[in-house]
Amino acid sequence: MTTTVTQFNLGTERRPFTVEIAVNPFFDLLMAVWSSNEHDDKALTYEIGVDWLESFAAATPEEARRQLEQFAGSGSHFALWLVLGLVADQATGLTTIDETLEWIAAADLRREIVAQTCCTSSEADVAAALAGDEDAQRRLIDDCGRAGEARLGSFAEKAAVIAEDLVRNVDHDAGTLLSDALASIRREAFSENEEEWALALERSAEAVSLLIPGSRPEGLIEQITNGIDFELPIGITRIVLVPSVVIRPWSMVNETGSTVVIVYPVAEEHLHADPDAAPSWLVSYYKALGDARRLKILRRLSTGPADLGELTELIGMAKTSTFHHIGVLRSAGLVRVHVGGTNAGTYDLRPQAFFDADGLLDKYLALEGMNQ
């Protein structure tokens, strides 16, 4: 099981982009730890199922839980997200879970996380604070709070907590703690799925690689994430695409320096290599239309963008249930979500999907007829 990295140069009028596809089961190991400890209801909507997540959590050794707590204190959940970005930024050099864990253990992870979290601090202040200089520690923690408010939104408080824990604990070996914890969790809770999922990741990467040449970065991101409308910030010159089984049908976006990491869901047909199976998007499309509440959402979005609160009120259900229905519609390519800009947090329709579905169904049925 290796990491497949494919590089493409996408020249645009503004700047060149390098796009890499990083296939490594490590990311799903990390996502499984993250998702099984979700503190909100989003994990309940994952296609992998609540039963799998609960089973994974139950199989996680208590010693590994203790190590994760030591790793980054009360902010360990958010710290794992920072680690995902750091590891993906090393995508071209890491090829297996074993190599990734070795890199984490050997890296000065305490410095890496603090530097990323306290992004407005100077290298000199970071070095002095981590060495125990109390004045530098105070400056660093203050800087982290301001940076968190500016860049991390709701994560600002946790970012400051992580920074304070790691800055003040001079003897803290964050890399070893995290590596040991993840190795134990892999062995006890993840290894059963690792080989099968690695093959699915490879198939997904192969399919996505065909979409990259000739694509604009934003259009590529929207296509593989089932409708995330994401405008790349100025200064971003590298995109790392990470296929994931665990977080299906959702996607995640992580910025690390000049790199944007896009964790995107593996398509159903890549999980089950059945040559006669209907295209997963086609199945998702007709599944999405088979519910009156989802049709009601589509009818509302045909008039213009709406946010989660408005759609929740429209169908008269809990936000968690509405979020699930939106996830089904996004899997079918019928809805896009806007990230950033004036429409941030809103959803709107992708009309092209309705036209594409008719042609794909005709094609699939014709192929079925030839096989009989």
| Residues 167-181 pLDDT 10s | 666 566 888 989 999
> What three-state secondary structure class fits 348?
strand
What Å distances lie between residue 174 and 67, 82, 118, 344, CA to CA?
9, 13, 17, 35
Q: Which of 215, 235, 265 is the last residue of a domain?
A: 265
**Cα(248)–Cα(35) distance, rounded to whole angstroms?**
11
**pLDDT of residue 2 exceeding 50:** no
The whole-model pTM stands at: 0.74
Check pLDDT > 60 for residue 370.
Answer: no
Cα angle for residues 258, 261, 262 (degrees, 5° grid): 140
Half-sphere exposure (CA, 13 Å, Cβ side) for 78?
20
CATH for 359: 1.10.10.10
Residue 282 domain-assigned (yes or no): yes
Whether residue 254 is contained in a domain is answered as yes
- Respond yes or no on whether the N-terminal peptide bond of residue 249 is cis (omega within 30° of 0): yes
Of 265, 299, 325, the one marking the end of a domain is 265
152 shares a domain with 115: yes
Within a domain: 55 = yes
Q: Verify that 253 and 338 share a domain, yes or no.
A: no
209 with 341, same domain: the answer is no
Q: Provide the residue range defining the domain that includes 300.
A: 274-371
Q: Is 25 part of any domain?
A: yes
- Of residues 309 and 116, more confidence is placed in 309
Q: How far is CA 146 from CA 73, 112, 141, 156, 174, in A?
A: 20, 18, 9, 8, 24
Whether 255 and 282 share a structural domain = no
With 80 as the cut, is the pLDDT of residue 101 above it? yes
Q: Are residues 280 and 330 in the same domain?
A: yes
Instruction: Confirm whether 2 is domain-assigned.
Output: no
User: In this structure, are 315 and 174 located in the same domain?
Assistant: no
Same domain, 252 and 302: no
CB 88 within 8 A of CB 240: yes
Q: Are residues 111 and 220 in the same domain?
A: yes
pLDDT at 371: 46
Specify the higher pLDDT residue, 333 or 98: 98
CA dihedral 208, 214, 216, 217 (to 10 degrees): 40
- Identify whether the C-beta of residue 185 lies closer than 8 Å to the C-beta of residue 60: yes
Provide Rg for the chain, Cα atoms: 21
In sequence order, which residues have a C-beta less than 8 Å from that of residue 352 and are 6 or more positions away?
A: none
- Do both 87 and 192 map to the same domain? yes
Average the pLDDT over each of 142-146, 173-177, 272-276, 293-297 and give the range with the smallest value.
272-276
Residue 295 lies in a domain: yes
Whether 278 shows a pLDDT value over 60: the answer reads yes
Looking at the structure, tell me whether residues 22 and 85 fall in a common domain.
Answer: yes
Final residue of a structural domain among 265, 291, 317: 265
Closest CA to 4 of 332, 179, 243, 342: 243
Does one domain contain both 258 and 299?
no
Which residue has better confidence, 371 or 279? 279
Q: Is residue 1 part of a domain?
A: no
Residue 347 pairs in a beta bridge with: 306, 337
Q: Do 14 and 114 belong together in one domain?
A: yes
Q: Contact 203/277 with Cβ under 8 angstroms?
A: no
Total structural domains within the chain: 2
Asked if the structure places residue 106 within a domain, the reply is yes
Mean pLDDT along residues 328-347: 82
Three-state SS for 226? coil
